[in-house]
Amino acid sequence: MEEKNHAEEAEDFLFENMGAFYNRNARKFKDFEEKLGVDIWFLEHFRMHFKLRNQRLKTKGREASANSKHLKGKAGLYREMSTILQSGWAKPRSNPKNILFVNSRFVREDGKFRFNSEETKSWTLVMNRELGTVMDDGFRKQWSNTMNTDAIIFRYFLSFRWIVDGPSFYWKLQKTLKKLTVKSRFDESILLGLKAAVPSFMLYWVRFNSMQMFFNRMNCENILMWDENSPQQKVIQYAARSKGIQVGAIQHGSIYKHHPAYAYAQYDFPPLLPDVTFVWGSKFRDVLTGLNGYRPESIVITGKVKEQIELVDSNQPGNFWLYASQPLRNGALREQILLDVCKAANKGFEIVIRPHPTEQFDGYFNEISSRAGLNNIRIERHPSLLQHLSACKGLIVTSSTVGFEFLEFNKPMIVMDYLEQDLMHWIKNDLGTKVINLEELEAALKKGQFVASDSRKDIIESLFYKNDDRALNRILQHFN
């Protein structure tokens, strides 16, 4: 409980003091935004939040794990430039009125979309690769045949505007950073974080200018996107705003009180947010409009956009438990949970690890499993996630969105709530079994029973509205 309180106190401290830093310097950030079109604070604040939280909790971050999807070094730079050059001939087939930006997580490994693309025929799809990341094979198949953000950036480079834009942005950025008011050691750590992010800001600036030039040439009226508050998507919003384009955001993961990408009530001047955010259910609407500072009129409940797959018969589950791994920002917690999962597997429980889409390498899992005395831990990225959920006996999860997707299968879910925060409120709502250590994990695996609470139906409706296959249709109808 002491560790739980320490974690919650750290979150509260960060929200209060990071908000105070911004509010104290708001006029300087806003002056920069008025001149250059973006507020740099809201391009970096939630990544900085996680870094500062790990410092306060004295734990390593997820970057401590060996491999990632992000390109690094000279080889990474060469591959990045090569990718952009290869994209240069992709052109929009028309002058689109409506654009849907599609991230890699919404393309299957066979190159097919995870959503019902038949419903999006009246929209132009733009494959949205983040700069500095490696494409998987499925996304590359769509990327090579469809308009993509790399081609948009390539055209910006051909304009040679970056020769003037880049240095101008850099010097104005440095000037703004020097003006920021610092009143404490914590403020100094924030300023150091902003200064360290200058290369990232330059990257975002290229993307912003590219998208702005793209929108200048189009008669676009509406755009839709997922993951809208991450920095490389946020600059698309800024570019769209400059042209009067309406921005819609589709909920892609869990939203909770202390999620820094969605919590803005502590700011005197909230950031640019989507004109409309489409959420899964009333629970997430209430979080956004209650503690997180969103305008009630900007939230529309539509249900969750479901993956289009053929499910196996969930009444005949397999004999294995599925552990939904995720790259937790708290690296020590991530390591301990995985270690206990492997120890449980080593004691005879059949467990399959399902890596998060960003966990593209097996080295981390193999290293931890070997420490547990297990040399053959099952790591599976196939079949599709929902087919895995349909086939498994039960789910082991920490705070991944996978837990929400699993609820409709009516099978046992074990929640590894080691910090006793119950971030997703699964335990509070009697949707999963709470465990806080290896002993409790083994007991829950041994019991393995599913008992539906009386309130389960109402809770699922608050999470997923109608829980049907019509969510994407409702979203698109909003723009008709």
pLDDT at 18: 95
- pTM for the model stands at 0.81
Q: Is the dihedral of CA 110, 116, 121, 127 positive or negative?
A: negative
- Average pLDDT of the chain to the nearest whole number: 87
CATH fold, domain 321-464, is Rossmann fold (3.40.50)
In whole angstroms, what is the distance from residue 376 CA to residue 146 CA? 40
82: pLDDT strictly greater than 60? yes
State the amino acid at position 223 in one-letter form.
Answer: I
Cβ(312)–Cβ(390) below 8 Å = yes
Summarised one tens digit per residue, pLDDT across range 213-251 is 999 998 899 999 999 999 999 999 999 999 999 999 999
Summarised one tens digit per residue, pLDDT across range 111-162 is 888 888 888 889 999 999 988 887 878 888 888 888 899 999 999 999 988 8
Q: Quickly tell me which residue has 């708001």 as its tokens.
A: 26
Instruction: Give the start-to-end residue ranges of the domains of the chain.
Output: 2-70+136-301, 321-464
Higher pLDDT, 64 or 462: 462
Higher pLDDT, 114 or 316: 114
pLDDT at 321: 96
| Three-class DSSP labels, the chain | CHHHHHHHHHHHHHHHHHHHHHHHCHHHHHHHHHHHCCCCHHHHHHHHHHHHHHHHCCCCCHHHCCCCCECCHHHHHHHHHHHHHHCCCCCCCCCCCEEEEECHHHECCCCCECCCHHHHCCCEEEECCCCCECCCHHHHHHHCCCCEHHHHHHHHHHHCCHHHHHHHHHHHHHHHHHHCCCCCHHHHHHHHHHHHCHHHHHHHHHHHHHHHHHHHHCCCCEEEEECCCCHHHHHHHHHHHCCCCEEEEECCCCCCCCCCCCCCCCCCCCCCCCCEEEECCHHHHHHHHHCCCCCHHHEEECCCCCCCCCCCCCCCCCCCEEEECCCCCCHHHHHHHHHHHHHHHHCCCCEEEECCCCCCCCHHHHHHHHHCCCCCCEECCCCCHHHHHHHCCEEEECCCCHHHHHHHHCCCEEEECCCCCCCCCCCCCCCCEEECCHHHHHHHHHHCCCCCCCCHHHHHHHHHCCCCCCHHHHHHHCCC
Q: What is the mean pLDDT of residues 454-478?
A: 86
